[in-house]
Amino acid sequence: MILEYWLANMRTLSVVCAALVAIMIISGSLSFPAFAQTPGPPNPNANKTTAYTLLHQNGTNIASTPPFVIKTDLPSYNQGDAVVISGHVRQLQNATAVAIKVISPLRNLVGIAQLLPASDGSFTTTFKVTGPLWKDAGNYTIIANYGRYTQANATFYYNGGNGDIIFGGKVTNDTYHLQSGGVTYDIPYIIKNGASVKSMDVYADKFMLEITISAPSDGSLTLTLPRELMDSKVPANLTKDQIMAGIKINPNDLQDANYIVTVNQKLVNQFTETKNPNVRILSIPFHQGDTTIDIIGTMIVPEFGPIAALVLAIAIISIIAVSAKTGLRFMPRHSGHSFYCQNIYLRSSQLQNFFI
């Protein structure tokens, strides 16, 4: 009697197995591992209230974010080159612009600009090192002011020129609309010397953003990466007790780590970065003929959102339900029901890994 009852309800059990598979797939797609947790030594201040804990309880990164910073995309330039300046303001003031002055080695004013930062405090701008004011070789200083009291400086080396007006390669200032995980992310970028951005793709299994470019000559790419798209953080140093207790870590409270950047699969160390709590701006040099720039972090959005997993789960349930009514089988009749469920579980594990 037990055996007959079991055989009579095999199809119902098949649908139950399929439902379990769907739940596993959806839960696997919604939970995305950001970084590995490694146990460390116990914290002697674990039960004490310190300035550090108060700061992080408020979910801020004020200690790691300077109030005002600027940088250039490259350390040196030739006559006719474009200089890309990027930076950020920590605390915005209504309708206040960033004022920029460029001073030559002889203390002459050779350039001036003014621009409004974005709503997140970031800004980028470009100017050409060409014309009669750009003759002297040496270290040039960029002085940026925001409001009455906030100032930031940056320096670069200019190789000198003859004072003629020379226009280098084309500078493209555009925004790439990257779709990933069912969301569109706007990535502003500036690419120099006639180069162009062909595509941007997310590889969630590698925590990597790959940028395909066309580079007819040497240049640089400056792009603004939203932290909600990808980020790089130092792993939390949790104790074994904290791990067992299931302590939740807010990635925003962790210290920033450097991105790993490669150009044509060669590691690049000479790139510059400015950042604030919302975005990280990278300026990456490249050479003529380079085609790919890879940026690797510790956190990135999945390639496929929960909707794709839900559609797949519904499809699996529908197929199993139809087979239960029509008598169709996925496995030969001589295969046991236990092996049938194990096969579905194995396939669900592979599908779950596909969505991680």
With CA atoms as reference, report the closest residue to 191 among 90, 290, 103, 115.
290
Predicted TM-score (pTM) of the model is: 0.69
> Over the stretch 78-114, which tens digit does the pLDDT of each residue have?
999 999 999 999 889 888 999 999 999 999 999 999 9
Contact partners, residue 181, CB within 8 Å, separation at least 6:
202, 301, 302, 303, 304, 305
How long a stretch of residues is the chain? 356
Task: Compute the distance between CA of residue 221 and CA of residue 73 in angstroms, rounded to an integer.
Answer: 8
Q: Are 299 and 242 in contact (CB under 8 A)?
A: no
> Over the stretch 121-178, which tens digit does the pLDDT of each residue have?
999 999 999 999 999 999 999 999 998 878 999 999 999 999 999 887 899 999 999 9
What is the arrangement of strands in the sheet containing 208-214, beginning at the earlier edge strand?
A: 196-203, 208-214, 292-296, 260-263, 266-268
SS3 204: helix
The encoded tokens of residue 33 equal 């591992």
Q: What pLDDT was estimated at residue 85?
A: 96
Task: Compute the distance between CA of residue 164 and CA of residue 144 in angstroms, rounded to an integer.
Answer: 27
Q: What pLDDT was estimated at residue 19?
A: 53
The encoded tokens of residue 167 equal 């226009």
Task: Compute the distance between CA of residue 287 and CA of residue 13 in angstroms, rounded to an integer.
Answer: 60
What are the extents of the domains in the chain?
Answer: 2-32+306-355, 34-61+170-301, 65-168
Residue 311 banded pLDDT, cuts 50, 70, 90: low
Q: What pLDDT was estimated at residue 248?
A: 81
Q: Are 98 and 130 in contact (CB under 8 A)?
A: no
The more confidently predicted of residues 71 and 14 is: 71
The encoded tokens of residue 207 equal 């925590």
The more confidently predicted of residues 168 and 324 is: 168
Contact partners, residue 334, CB within 8 Å, separation at least 6:
none
Task: Compute the distance between CA of residue 111 and CA of residue 311 in angstroms, rounded to an integer.
Answer: 57
Residue 313 banded pLDDT, cuts 50, 70, 90: low
Q: Mean of the per-residue pLDDT values for the chain?
A: 78
Residue 254 banded pLDDT, cuts 50, 70, 90: confident
Q: What percentage of residues in the chain have a pLDDT greater than 90?
A: 54
> Over the stretch 205-243, which tens digit does the pLDDT of each residue have?
999 999 999 999 999 999 999 999 999 999 888 888 877
Q: Is 95 exposed, middle or buried (0-12, 13-18, 19+ CB in 10 A)?
A: exposed
Residue 196 banded pLDDT, cuts 50, 70, 90: very high
Structurally, at CATH architecture level, domain 65-168 sits in Sandwich (2.60)
DSSP secondary structure code for residue 59 in this structure: T
First to last CA, the chain: 44
> Over the stretch 330-352, which tens digit does the pLDDT of each residue have?
555 544 444 444 444 444 444 44
Q: Is 304 exposed, middle or buried (0-12, 13-18, 19+ CB in 10 A)?
A: middle
**312: pLDDT strictly greater than 80:** no
Q: What pLDDT was estimated at residue 247?
A: 82
> Over the stretch 16-65, which tens digit does the pLDDT of each residue have?
555 555 555 544 444 343 443 333 444 444 444 443 343 333 333 445 67
Q: What pLDDT was estimated at residue 289?
A: 97
